[in-house]
Amino acid sequence: MKFCVLASGSSGNCIYIESKGTRVLVDAGISRKSVQERLAQIGVGLDAIAGLCITHDHSDHTAGIPVLTGRHRLPLYATYGTSTTVESNAKKHFEWNLFEAGCAFGIGALTFEAFTVPHDAGDPVGFVVSDGERRLGIATDMGEVPDMVAHHLKGCHALILEFNHDRDLLLNSSRPWMVKQRILGRRGHLSNVQACDLLRCIAGDQLRTLFLAHLSEECNTPALARGCAAEVLRDCGLAGTTQLCLHQWPGPVLDV
C-alpha cells in the first residue's frame, strides 16, 4: 500500500491511497483543480479514483465535493451525520454510500474500518485502511483520545496523526478566546503533547511511517511537532526504523 498527503491543515485536507490497483481519496478539502493537479504530479488521473471517503463535514475536508462528485462522478462515502451536514451546507443533494462508525466497508482491494472521534462535527470518524497485509491509520481533527481510538490505531504500519498546535503558542496567539476554547476543548484539535501521548500508546515495532498532519500555521511549527514526535520514537526504540514526515508539496508518495 502507498499513500500521499496531497494537502493537510486548516486550508484543506486530502489523502491519496493506493493498493493492488485500487485508488481512493480520503477527504477533499481543496478544489477539484488542485486535487487533479496534485494527483497528476504523482502520475494518477482523477478517473482512476474509485471512491472519496469523508472523515467529517468541515469545509477543510469537504470543499471539493460538489465538483468532484458532479462532473467526475466520484463515489462518495460518509456517515449519515456527515452526509446530511454536507448537503445542508452545500444546499445540494449528493449520492452517498453510507457507512456507520464502528463498522467496516470495502472499496476494491481496500477495507476501511471507521471509528468515532470526538470533534465538533456531525458524526466524525477516523479510519484504519487495510489491504489485508498492511494497515494505515488516519486520525486528525479530534479534541481528545478515547481508549477506543487508541485501540483501533494499534498495529498500524503507517500513521497519519494530527499534531495541531502547541498549547503555549495557541494560548499566546492573537486568536479570539472563543476560538482558543474550541480548539482546546474535548471536541477540538489535538495538541503536540496529546498527539505524543497517543503515539506512545500505539507505536509498535511494525510502524514504518509516521506523518504529522493538520499542523496549525499560526500555533505550531514543524520543528516543535517533529521534535516531540522524534522523542517518542526514540523512547519506543523506533528512531532508526520509523520515517517521520510532515506535509509539504510536492509531497512524496510513501510506503505503508
Binding stretches for Zn ion (CB under 5 A):
58, 60, 141
Which residue, 22 or 82, is less far from Zn ion as judged by CB? 82
Q: How far is the CB of 48 from Zn ion (least distance, A)?
A: 26
Q: How far is the CB of 59 from Zn ion (least distance, A)?
A: 9
Helices (H) and strands (E) in the chain, counts: 9, 14
Which residue, 18 or 60, is less far from Zn ion as judged by CB? 60
- In the sheet with 22-26, reading across from the earlier edge strand, the strands are 96-98, 76-78, 51-53, 22-26, 14-19, 2-7, 254-255
Which residue, 13 or 22, is less far from Zn ion as judged by CB? 13
Q: How far is the CB of 29 from Zn ion (least distance, A)?
A: 7
Q: How far is the CB of 243 from Zn ion (least distance, A)?
A: 24
Q: Which residue, chain included where needed, has cell 491509520?
A: 137
CA distance 32 to 66: 9
Which residue, 122 or 251, is less far from Zn ion as judged by CB? 122
Q: Is 93 exposed, middle or buried (0-12, 13-18, 19+ CB in 10 A)?
A: exposed
CA distance 88 to 59: 12
